[in-house]
Structure formats: structure tokens, C-alpha cells
Chains A and B, each alone.
Chain A
Amino acid sequence: MSRLSIRSFSSSPIASKVGYSTVQPVHHLIPIKKQTLGKRFPELNIPKDDIRSPQYKPKDVYQDRVNEYYQNVLKSDLLLHYYEHDSEAVTGNKARSWGEFSPYAVYRRDRKPKGLSRATRDIKPVTPRNIPELTGISINLYNKAALEESWINISARLQLAQITNVKPKVVYNKSNVLPWKVRQGKECGCKVELEGRDMTRFLSTLVELVLPRIRTFKGIKDSSGDKSGNITFGLSPEEIKFFPEIENFQELFPNLFGFHLTFKTNAGTDERARTLLTSLGLPFYKEVKNVQ
């Protein structure tokens, strides 16, 4: 039997090279012959979150302080804060019909909503079922330098993996834009989706250790958001230096890269998402425009 598929816990060659392993981790200890995988071996098709599965990865590895605070304190407060007597859902601006009787409208797409190019969502009242919650943080790192030298992307991925404890996925260019040296299929950065304990640990590091040390940081712009409760802001390479994983090993990270953070919530509106994030410790500021 081939012994190659036994889990090795590392993927760099035996002659230990200095470097960063870019191979995706494999979480199985049992040698599997992929050819034999089929209906005959149902035990190999156990879902990943089952402890019998060879791909099982433990999740509840320590007490989650941030989630505890959300569950015990914030949830009931947010419910009371958003309680409105006799409230009903406010219907969004929807696509309109062309009228029932026109034969030309039978297979035609609906008319655009009034005054907008896109339909908007309904705004539902907050009930115990849909209390605003932080569902995930996605981090997007666009690496311009990698367009010319693709090896630079390795250090970007290492940086993100160090900060978040999650293996980043590589992002590739989708189109050709020659003046920007953008080539289709070329590496141009990486991204990470954080959930659960990885998310809360990242959030507490950001709120307690990184943001307070950025001198110029005023907060997140009040206008940030995609209108359905997902709020984005960016950090520059100078600001990323304050992450303790980077700060203590600065000589190992000669190139640092800024990234965009998106806080994904199920709040439905930006205003509610802002309330949630404020209560989790992220400040917001109002942008002053057209000052003369």
C-alpha cells in the first residue's frame, strides 16, 4: 500500500528549506486509496464535522469570550433597542410588472423599480429570530506587486495566515487590462473568510490591540456599507505592523500588504450593522464633506 497519503503534518521537503509551505493542509491520518472510494466504503463518506471523519477538525477549542459577551449581554439589549410596537416589514422597492393585458409583455423581463436600477430588500422588524449578529469577517488582500513578480504573493499569504490563523485562498485576475499589467489567470492577492473562534479572536485582536495604536485612526466611515448590513474598511501596510504576530517578528516580514476587511452581518440595514459593530468595540465617525 502506498504510504504517501499518510498525514505528514508538514509539506516542505525533508531537507528543511527556509520558507512557507503553500500546500493546503490535509486532515486525515488514514491512508486512502482514492480509486477505491465509492459506495462500497460508506465510512469514508462521513461528513467533515463528524468526529469519525478523517477530515474532522475540532472547533470548540477554548472558551469564546466575544461570543459569550454577545450571547449574554448584547443579544437581549439589541432586541430591546430595536423593539417597536406593532411594527411591520417595510417593503423594498421592487421590480414592476408591465401590466397584465399586453401581449408584448408575456416573456419580457419585469420593469425596473421606480427610480432605481435594482430592487431593494424588505426591512423586517427585529424579532428574537433575527437579532443582528456578526456572521463572518472576510479579508481581501489585493497585491499589485504580485502582478509583476508572482512570488511576492507568497509573503502576502503568509502575512494573512499569520494574522488570522486560516489558510488564505489565492485570488487570480479575471480579465486583461494591459495598462495596469493585469493578466488573466495571474495571481493578484489572497482572501480569507473568518468564522467562529477564528473570527472572534481576530476581532478582539483588532479592537483591543491594533486599532487603539493607530494614531490617525478615527473610526470606520459612517458611509461605509453595502445597504444590506455588510461594512467594509481598509488597513494600510503601516497599520498592519501593529498586529502582534507581525510586530514581534518584523525582520521576517520585509514586505507588508494592506487589506480590506468586510464585517458580514445579518442585520439587513447598515444602520443596524453599525449599532452592532459599535457595541463590539468598533468606532464610527461621520465624514464631513465639502468644507470650505
Chain B
Amino acid sequence: MWKSGLRKYSAAASSTASAGNSTSISSTLLLTRNPVITADVSKFEAQYYKYQNELWKRLMWTFPSWFYYRKGTISEQAFRELNPGPVFNNPNIEFPRGRPVVVHQRDRRFKQELKLPKTYKEVSQEKKEGGETAAEEEGAKEDNLSRQIVPNSRITKADESKDLASLERQLSRTLYLIIQENSKWTLPTFKEEQVAQGDDTKDSSVTPLHTLAEQGLYKIGGNSINYFNVSNTPCHVHKSESTREYFIKSHILSGRFVPQSESIKFLWLTKEELGEYLEKDYYKEIEHLLSDI
């Protein structure tokens, strides 16, 4: 069977490994907010998708209107009114751009364009042109069950007001939590409370790194955070002469970070923004852990 023996990554256990000297172990929390909406595509990508999509439509089969709109029904009549057939290949007419090849009410030289019931954009534009007030629209929204579905904006209020502490900013990007306690911005790092020497061997004194991170998070950010710990295994270790910082990766699922003391400031930042706030060497070291999207 797969070796599933739980490996304990604990602060005390590692400090015994570096026996004697005063290396302090701490747990650093890489708390992320995953992207909520699809990624922003570059101009080239957008053009590529559009090109492929048009090609796809060009090669599509004719829409089987005879299946969805039975002959002689009212819906068929409505469909025909919306989608009048193309000009047929009249032998008495000269077609300077080539003769139409019509099969099943479709000119097969081109992609088939069907007119469907109006989109929300068209409807809202029409309403604006008609001079309907916003209040009337809202009233219609409330009581009309079959109201148009209008997607929310990709740019939120937090983006507009440049509120860096909001979880609702940069919806298409991954955000990381950083805090400031003593005039220096860092990822939240929690040291284990000092254990009397000799106690290290006892299991009761051992705090696993992920538990340490959890306790620390609740201590500084309150209990209203619902988070998901990806793994008890640290994903990175930051070494300096006297410290070992183990990175524990988690995602925030709901709730929010509420600083428990007034001295704590916090921000939710994207990868590029982290580069501006963190120390350069430190950022360079952890850059590969951060998501580009």
C-alpha cells in the first residue's frame, strides 16, 4: 500500500534537530484568495479566440429550424419573421459578389447568422433611448421573474476606490494577505511560544506547523475566517542565521480578516503589488510560490 504514515512537520521536532543552538522555528502563512472570475485575456489571446470562434461558426452545420420550430406553428412563424431567408439564386439576376448557394434557407458560402430574442444589452440600450428612469427599471427588476440577467461588472467598488484591504478587489487575480506590525510589511509569521528545555521530547509540547499558523491567524485576524489548509506540509522554508520560517499554504473560503489590535494593518495584494511592499531579496526568494494569475 501507499506509504501513508503521517509525517509530522512540527516546530519542536525540528528545533531538536538543530539541537542546542538558538534557531527559532516559525510558521509563515501564505493565505490566498483564489480568483473569483475568469482571467483577463491579453489582446492577442482575445483575437485568437475570436478568430477560432468565427471559424467554428463558419463550419457549423445548418441550424435545424425544422426540428425546433414545427411547420405550421406560431413559433415557426415568429422565427421566420425574425430570420427571413437569404436571396435565392435567381438566374435572371447578376450577382457581382458570386452566386448564392442556398440550402435549407442558408447561404452556405457564409456562416449562418440567426436572430435570437434580444440580449440584455440591446434591451437596456432601447430602454435608455426610450428615456426610462433608473427607478422604474429597478421596480421592474424586483417584481419581474423573467427579468433580464445582467452580469456584474468585472471591476468592483473596491477597485475603483483602490481599497487594498478589501477581499473584493482584483476579482480575476489571486490575492495574498500581508500584515504590518512594526513598520515593516511581511507575510503573517508566527513563532512558537518558548518551550522549556527538556520538554521538547514530549509529544504534548509539540505544535504542528499548520496548527501554529491557524492559532496565529485567529489571534491576529479573529475567528470570522473560514479557511482551507492545502497541506500540513510546508511549501517553502525561508532560512536565515537564527530563524527557519516554514510556509503553510491556505485559501480563504469565506469571512474576512478583522485585525484584533489597532497596531496591525493588513492588505490583500496581487503578486506584482507584493513586490512593492515586501523586501526585495525576500520577494525574489518567494516569487516562484506566487501565482501569476
Contacts and interface: CB of A to CB of B under 8 A. Distances in A.
* Mutual binders A and B: yes
Interface of A: 7-10, 12, 14, 16-21, 25, 27, 57-63, 65, 68-69, 72-73, 76-77, 80-81, 83-85, 87, 90, 123, 249, 252, 269
Interface stretch (B16-24, B50-58, B201-209, B259-267): B50-58
Contacts of B35: 69, 72-73
A62 B2 CA distance: 40
B7 A58 contact: no
15 contacts: A9-B62, A14-B103, A14-B104, A16-B66, A27-B59, A58-B56, A61-B52, A63-B39, A65-B38, A73-B34, A77-B231, A80-B231, A84-B3, A84-B7, A85-B233
Interface string B44-73: 000011001101100111101011101100
Contact of A10 (B1, B49, B61): B61
B249 interface: yes
Contacts of A62: 49, 53
B48 A58 contact: no
Contact of A60 (B3, B49, B66, B233): B49
A84 B6 CA distance: 9
B39 A72 contact: yes
Contacts of B7: 84-85
Contacts of B93: none
B68 A252 contact: yes
Contacts of A25: 61
Given A19-B67, A72-B293, A85-B7, A80 B108 contact: no
- Most B CB contacts (10 A, CB to CB) among A7, A10, A21, A65 go to A10
B223 interface: no
B39 A249 contact: no
B9 to A, nearest CB: 9
B174 A72 contact: yes
Given A8-B103, A62-B53, A84-B3, A57 B59 contact: yes
A10 B233 contact: no
B56 A9 contact: no
Nearest first, the 3 closest Cβ-Cβ pairs linking A and B are A10-B62, A58-B52, A61-B56
Contact of B108 (A8, A17, A57, A123): A8
B104 A90 contact: no
A83 B233 contact: yes
Given A81-B231, A90-B1, A10 B103 contact: yes
Contact of B38 (A63, A80, A123): A63
B198 to A, nearest CB: 28
B55 A58 contact: yes
A181 to B, nearest CB: 30
Contacts of B55: 58
A164 B205 CA distance: 56
Nearest to A71: B293
Contact of B52 (A7, A8, A59, A72): A59
